[in-house]
Amino acid sequence: MNNANPHSKEPSPAIQSNKSSLAHLSYKKGGGLKFKIISGILWNTVNSGASFIITIGTVAVLARLLKPEDFGMFAMITVVIGIMESFSDMGISAAVISYKDIRDYELSSLLVFNIVVGVFLAVLLAAASPLVVFYYKEPRLSMYLYLLALNFIITSPAIIFNVLMKKHMQFKILSRINIIATVIYGVTAIAYAWFTRNIISLVVGTLLQSVVSTVLNIYYGLRLWKPGIMEIRYAHIKRFLSFGLFQIGERIINRINWNIDYLIIGRFLGAQSLGFYYLAYNLMLKPIQKINPIITGVAFPALSEIQENTEQLKRYFLKMIRYIITVMAPIYLLFFVIPGPVILVLYGDEWMLSVPVLGVFAFLGILYSIGNPMGNLILAKGRADIGFWMNVGQTLFLLTANYIGSKWGIMGVAVSTLAVTLCIFVPVGFFVRYYLVKMTVSEYLEQLKKPILLSFAAGGVIVFLKKFLIVLSPFSQLVLLGGLFVIIYGVLLIIFEKEEIRFLLKTIKEYGKREKITQE
């Protein structure tokens, strides 16, 4: 589909340089979709694994240098930033990945458009800061909001280069960029926290991380594509904006969904309570943020290549769900059976109020991890409108449930979120998957059955043994029980999933041979 204006002055696609045109750009390595996916998964594993360790380590140190109130205030800020980030690329990223006939002049217009939007959002956030302060009744937020407004200007030039690298599955480069930027954040935030013992450490770390990430994305992105005339023409961006309208709406509502609990706790229970809730919720999200993308980050561009083949799309999606739950279920079951040692070892005695909340979030994490990939399926089918209306409904239910739950403190909010997700969002997800690719409930549950049962079996053993080790220190309990859990689950996996393991090892081995031949 090419919606370029035939009366415009840009050169026609037929006479553009083959060297720079995205229409002629091909992958440098690999020849089949399967090997592109394997390559992406391997590099996303490196990226996510390293980022997970660095991030957890950073938060563990910061939790001993900052107060729960500091984390609570930062959570208040991230709600506002997150909602405004929904507008950062106006939904065009998914369109760039989805469309197969993009022209250079369209990308140039999108680049300038992103920069203009970034400046606009920075001004808007600065102007809206008094309203945020009024809502939370926290005047100290004002200065930090002004500083973080700069983040929109800093990151806007890199958006188009980042999405092009994702489109062409340059996950090795993206992994390097993310790891470097994450290390910069960790070092900067810890150094500032050491000297200031103040929330400013999180703000400065975030800004410097964005600077490094932007510079590296542009540097490597220029190898794929170099901008032409830097101007905005509506005819060049029209189709991308049309695609992105529903996605913008979906992103905004989705951000509100994910942050309704923060909004309610921050308003009615205060920064300190939000700090305890934030740390438990943040820990629950870390596996989803760092491990899920190992597969889902590759899934969207891969699924977009086969969007017309419903049967193949369904098969790839089910396989993706199986791998995700195989990794995520044991992590969250471990959070459930030993939440005390996990919180105390990572964050210290000051965070004891986060322990019961993490126990509830363990089950929420399982539901989120297997529900999260549906966004890839919706976008791969080009139905961002479905995601939008789903999120509208979710927002209404969560707002009501979390407000009622807040009467019982942060535990009430956590339980209400889990109840709404399990009783409403999960059934809706089954309906949407069937509507899009005729995926039945039984087909979906079949992928979840073994990993969840094996995780519960390993968790049951740990619950039994835990009462005999209660006299040990939290660190000893975490090492002994956590290590035993991993061993038991690993053995069960080898026994009951040996065919799947053989398939994975065989595929990775084939990919290794293919890469070796390509390099030679």
For residue 314, what are the contacts with CB-CB under 8 A and spacing of at least 6? 437, 438, 439, 443
Structure confidence at residue 150 as a pLDDT band (50, 70, 90): very high
If 0-12 CB within 10 Å is exposed, 13-18 middle and 19+ buried, where does residue 471 land?
Answer: exposed
**b/e map of 24-56 (b: 16 or more CB within 10 Å)?**
ebeeeebeebebbbbbbbbbbbbbbebbbebbe
Task: Give the largest Cα separation in the chain, rounded.
Answer: 79
For residue 383, what are the contacts with CB-CB under 8 A and spacing of at least 6? 436
Quick one: which H or E segment has residue 79? helix 68-85
**b/e map of 205-231 (b: 16 or more CB within 10 Å)?**
bbbbbbebbbebbeebbeebbebbeee
**29 has pLDDT over 60:** no
**242 has pLDDT over 60:** yes
If 0-12 CB within 10 Å is exposed, 13-18 middle and 19+ buried, where does residue 427 land?
Answer: exposed
Q: Which of 223-232, 259-268, 303-312, 457-466 has the lowest mean pLDDT?
A: 303-312
406: which 2 tokens? 């807040």
If 0-12 CB within 10 Å is exposed, 13-18 middle and 19+ buried, where does residue 461 land?
Answer: middle
Position 16, amino acid: Q
In the chain, the percentage of residues whose pLDDT exceeds 70 is: 81
32: which 2 tokens? 């089949």
CB distance 362 to 332 below 8 Å: yes
Q: How many CB atoms lie within 10 A of CB 381?
A: 19
Q: For position 287, what pLDDT does the model report?
A: 86
**143 has pLDDT over 70:** yes
- Tell me how far apart the alpha carbons of residues 287 and 334 are, in angstroms, rounded to a whole number: 12
Q: How many CB atoms lie within 10 A of CB 511?
A: 20
CB distance 181 to 166 below 8 Å: no
Q: For position 22, what pLDDT does the model report?
A: 39
User: Is the model more confident about 375 or about 412?
Assistant: 412
Strand ranges inside 13-123, DSSP E: none
Q: For position 247, what pLDDT does the model report?
A: 66
**90 has pLDDT over 80:** no
Q: How many CB atoms lie within 10 A of CB 424?
A: 15
- Tell me how far apart the alpha carbons of residues 268 and 283 are, in angstroms, rounded to a whole number: 23
Q: How many CB atoms lie within 10 A of CB 116?
A: 11
Backbone angle region of 10, left / alpha / beta, with phi > 0 → left and psi within -120 to 50 → alpha: beta
Backbone angle region of 2, left / alpha / beta, with phi > 0 → left and psi within -120 to 50 → alpha: beta
pLDDT per residue over 156-213, tens digit each?
999 999 989 988 878 788 888 989 999 999 999 999 999 999 999 999 999 999 999 9
443: which 2 tokens? 């087909």
Structure confidence at residue 467 as a pLDDT band (50, 70, 90): confident
CB distance 520 to 361 below 8 Å: no
Q: How many CB atoms lie within 10 A of CB 385?
A: 14
- Tell me how far apart the alpha carbons of residues 403 and 413 are, in angstroms, rounded to a whole number: 8
CA angle 10, 13, 18 (to 5 degrees): 115
Q: For position 95, what pLDDT does the model report?
A: 73
**What mean pLDDT is reported for the chain?**
83
What is the Cα Rg of the chain in Å? 23
pLDDT per residue over 402-448, tens digit each?
999 999 999 999 999 999 999 988 999 899 888 888 889 999 999 89
Q: For position 167, what pLDDT does the model report?
A: 82
Measure CA 59 to chain center. Answer: 18
Distances (CA, A) of 413 to 5, 144, 268: 52, 27, 12
